[in-house]
Structure 1
């Protein structure tokens, strides 16, 4: 089966419920169908280098039918570098020519000024530095770029902004 895992196609899954035919079709060919834990879940494609992240309706969309609060929706997609959490490298093209292994300076040249940056601080509980990250807005969604301790891009995520809880 030939499946389109291009970044643009994957980004169109955001905010779709797990009951959507496109999400169901992907879940059926994933490594391990849908894994759910508490209020979230995921659909894993280790050999493709991506994971589709799921959360319950209130964390993803503003309006849903009464009783649909626990329906899972696509909240984000992680795109992995080779070996990150035992994944293959995501090999499709990413926005603005972004590549795994790019430095922070490479990212800034390709993407421009981010709307937010952080990380890189020592976390006592973990006994190590947290990864640095850079965030950009792509339409209504957030592109989160993680920089590892070697100062290279090793994880890219696209996610929705959590709606305001009423």
Structure 2
């Protein structure tokens, strides 16, 4: 069995809610199968792009855990997956403006001012959701990370 990787002393602990950057997927089996791989790829991409000393650890969590953990809900957050299988995406659907929508196939939502950094990326299927995440990474990841680095 491989050894457990522990954060270095200077890296934030991904298990500590106050230093997490939650990437939220639904707890539904479809979300686990279709959206979790995309969320893991996003986690890895954000960790690679984050500047040295970035105060948060991107971590993939389910909507159930996220919605039931008070300190986690106050952190900068990215929701992945369509509202039918992700309760956080459903909640954010009418609260965040759309910054990109393509042919009723995919959507990226976030507050362009990033006053409270939150984003939601989803599509009509796994491929469209992955494309929404790719576009988020291409267009908004750096400004999102900068906003997430601010003190909370």
TM-score (norm: length of structure 1) = 0.30
Larger of the two Rg values belongs to structure: 1
Relative to its length, the structure with more helix (as a share) is 2
Higher RCO, Cα 8 Å, sep 6+: 2
Relative to its length, the structure with more strand (as a share) is 1
